[in-house]
Amino acid sequence: MSVSDEERDEYPDGSVKLRNPHIELMDQDILYHLALGSGSHDLVEMFGDVKFICMGGTPKRMETFANFIMEEIGHKLPTGTTLLDISQYSYRYCMYKVGPVLSISHGMGVPSVSILLHEIIKLMYHAKVKDPIFFRIGTCGGIGLEGGTVVISEEAVDAMMNNYYEVPMLGKIVKRPAKLDKKLVRELKLLADPEDPYITTSGKTMCTSDFYEGQGRLDGAFCEYTESDKMEYLNQIRCQGVVNIEMEAIPFAALTHHAGIKSAIVCVTLLDRLKGDQVMAPKEVLNEWQIRPQKLVARYIKRYLQMKGRISFEGHGSMAVKSPRRFKLVQQESETFE
């Protein structure tokens, strides 16, 4: 079951609504993996002005993006301060707030990004955020695309070419459509600069649950198919419109769509999978490539804020504690939760 247009129209103020009646009955909602809680922190004060949620795999990449977007939108920190990792006590994800932008690491693979999305969507709800826009900024393997190519996902499909997210739930499989926002995709494509020294393209993104066998690699600990089998498969999915492979697109597209949230995925290819399996580019080259999708998303954010007349901001993601006792409890829960 998906969010229909009629359901979206019920919330004209743009508030994020949870499709879970149990949350309202809880004394406090502890967001374990973020080291935050609805009773321990003043989430409206901390996050109420957020508009853009930008996610990527590693803490280092998202710290880099936080500093990059800070410079792009002209955000100023108070003298003598630095960006704060708001979720530092979770020891799982990092989270930086730069004015209306959240920069968050989501880890690797379907389970990790799914857990984060549940808690970030709940965070948006508790913070009373209006009309948030979610971006995944990542890396991928290209299918017929050279390393360093920026890819805007038009659609997300799984390893079986299904465009839905299968969730085992109470012994049954629930299928949630994986849909990205078409208008957002079009706007991102228009922001690609012809003078960029690299190609920006778009197409279907395949999401797999494994890096090695699930993506047809020959270099895993196990491999029970031939190179010919691999090439036949990769060329087959290429003919079906797949231009890149990664490991998070399906839950990202499905859960944001289920919540009625606009979302898009922008990745950079680290290699052409038709030419090999291992990432051979030097570290300094990879670091520059990973900035490329960040630049495109930053252009969107900067243009949006300029149009709204919101290009200078105060505050830098400080803690707003409502209850010291509950704050300590949330820290302890996040540190010990498995």
CATH code of 259's domain: 3.40.50.1580
Confidence (pLDDT) at 284: 97
215 is in an annotated binding site: yes
Query: Within a domain: residue 1?
Result: no
Interior CA angle at 124 toward 122 and 126, to 5°?
70
92 is in an annotated binding site: yes
Pick the closest to residue 159 from 241, 258, 237 (CA basis). 237
Burial 155-182 (b: 16+ CB within 10 A, else e): bbbbbeeebbbeeeeeeeeeebebbbbe
Higher-pLDDT residue of 103 and 315 is: 103
217 is in an annotated binding site: yes
For the whole model, what pTM was predicted? 0.89
278 is in an annotated binding site: no
Query: Within a domain: residue 118?
Result: yes
Confidence (pLDDT) at 8: 43
Pick the closest to residue 264 from 186, 157, 323 (CA basis). 186
Q: What is the residue range of 125's domain? A: 21-333
273 is in an annotated binding site: no
d(CA 173, CA 171): 7
Give the mean pLDDT of 177-192. Answer: 98
Q: Which helix (H) or strand (E) holds 265?
A: strand 262-272
Instruction: Indicate the pLDDT class of residue 309, thresholds 50, 70 and 90.
Output: confident
SS3 179: coil
Instruction: Indicate the pLDDT class of residue 316, thresholds 50, 70 and 90.
Output: very low
Query: What DSSP letter does each residue of 274-316 carry, written as one string?
Result: TT-SS--S-HHHHHHHHHHHHHHHHHHHHHHHHHHT-------
Q: Which helix (H) or strand (E) holds 64?
A: helix 59-72
Query: Within a domain: residue 238?
Result: yes
Query: Within a domain: residue 7?
Result: no
Query: Within a domain: residue 194?
Result: yes
Query: Within a domain: residue 16?
Result: no
d(CA 73, CA 99): 9
- Ranking 62-66, 213-217, 285-289, 330-334 by mean pLDDT, the lowest is 330-334
Query: Within a domain: residue 6?
Result: no
Query: Within a domain: residue 5?
Result: no
The answer to whether residue 6 scores a pLDDT higher than 60 is no
- Ranking 106-120, 250-264, 285-299, 322-336 by mean pLDDT, the lowest is 322-336
Instruction: Indicate the pLDDT class of residue 7, thresholds 50, 70 and 90.
Output: very low
Domain count, the chain: 1
